[in-house]
Amino acid sequence: MLKKEFWYDLPKEQIAQQPADPRDAARLMVLHRGSDAVEHHIFRELPDFLQPGDLLVVNNSKVLPARIIGTKQPTGAVCELLLLRQVKGDQWECLAKPGKRMQPGTVVSFGDGSLTAVVDETEPDGNKLVTFSYDTETLYEKLDAFGKMPLPPYITRQLEDQSQYQTVYAKELGSAAAPTAGLHFTPELMDIIRAKGVGIAEVTLHVGLGTFRPVKEDEITDHQMHSEWYSVPQQTADQIHAAHAAGHRVIAVGTTSCRTLEAVAAQYGEIRACSGNTDIFLYPGVPFRCIDGLITNFHLPESTLIMLVSAFYGYEKTMAAYKTAVAEHYRFFSFGDAMLIV
């Protein structure tokens, strides 16, 4: 299939600039795979579409406040680093601005000077390997003090409350972007879901900025997916086996949970406790081996994420649903509304 087949027109004003308040006040488009019915609801009504014995699988990865702005030493020029992944110890792979002025040996100071960074080398793709020094036990303490959330480029205003870009169940630090389908859940809504007899299981997939990387190749199968680290605990594997054995549905909350489960099922033929890296690319024609339902936001045109949704729900039905969402003035992308596909 061609990349251009996943294009749709979206008015700029429908790109959500801030999350719904409260979180579960976002809208929810419900898509029924069996009947092709389309319904319009509010996210807090999600329990109405869940059945006792269903299992929701969420991604518990926590976003690092990984965007830090400092000054180049000794010139005082303003520069920015965005931490992408830990290489080893205190060395991280980073995006740097302005990259051309941050050559190996460059020293950058942040905040009160208690956090510094030295550029070690420039990688072929332009990213930098950087080693940090700090006066606290962990680098994360400094990121909490000086860092900002690495919001996607289409969100043009900074958050007043950085917790708005974390799910309420986030606990495993490591993501460069939020698993945004989970942003709609509140503790109260999760209690209601559990009280209905629906299970909640956790996986971890640390979301990389590659999730925003555009597909450049015309033929989508020529696209090289980014790699991300994931982990499936034994308890989650057991919960999934039990749900399927009893004939219940496994519903992934977000494309990251979906990719984790489908990557493990594709590699091992079943869900098992494991961890590793995955670059799985789910597009129309690729089979799904684990999930029976998906909760997800509305994604960018021509992105790997809209291709994933098309793989699960069907290409023509997905593009029709997006057209309906635009016409019905749904809010799009990271802070936007959601869809439930079951």
Verify cis geometry, omega within 30 degrees of 0, for the bond prior to 301.
no
**DSSP of 226-273, one letter per residue?**
--EEEEE-HHHHHHHHHHHHTT--EEEESHHHHHHHHHHHHHHSS--S
Predicted pLDDT at 170:
98
Verify cis geometry, omega within 30 degrees of 0, for the bond prior to 22.
yes
Q: Is the pLDDT of residue 86 over 90?
A: no
Q: Whole-number mean pLDDT of the chain?
A: 95
Domains 3-63+162-341 and 67-146 share a fold: no
CA angle, corner 201, sides to 196 and 207, nearest 5? 130
The token duo for 280 is 């799985």
**Rounded-to-integer distance, Cα 298 and Cα 287, Å:** 22
- Helix (H, G, I), strand (E, B), or coil: what is residue 201? strand
Domain 67-146, CATH homologous superfamily name and number: QueA-like (2.40.10.240)
Predicted pLDDT at 13:
97
Q: What is the pLDDT of residues 23-52, one digit of tens each?
A: 999 999 999 999 999 999 999 999 999 999
Tokens 């799985």 map to which residue?
280
The token duo for 275 is 């961890």
Fold of 3-63+162-341: QueA-like (3.40.1780)
- Residue 45: phi and psi, rounded to 5, are -85, 5
From residue 154, alpha-carbon distances to 14, 23, 202 in Å are 11, 20, 29
Mean pLDDT of 209-231: 90
The token duo for 256 is 């990251």
Q: What is the pLDDT of residues 149-171, one digit of tens each?
A: 988 889 988 888 989 999 999 99
Nearest to 295 by CA among 236, 249, 252, 250: 252
The token duo for 186 is 């509140």
Predicted pLDDT at 208:
85
The token duo for 221 is 């199968």
Work out the percent of the chain whose per-residue pLDDT is above 70.
Answer: 100
* Structural domain boundaries in the chain: 3-63+162-341, 67-146
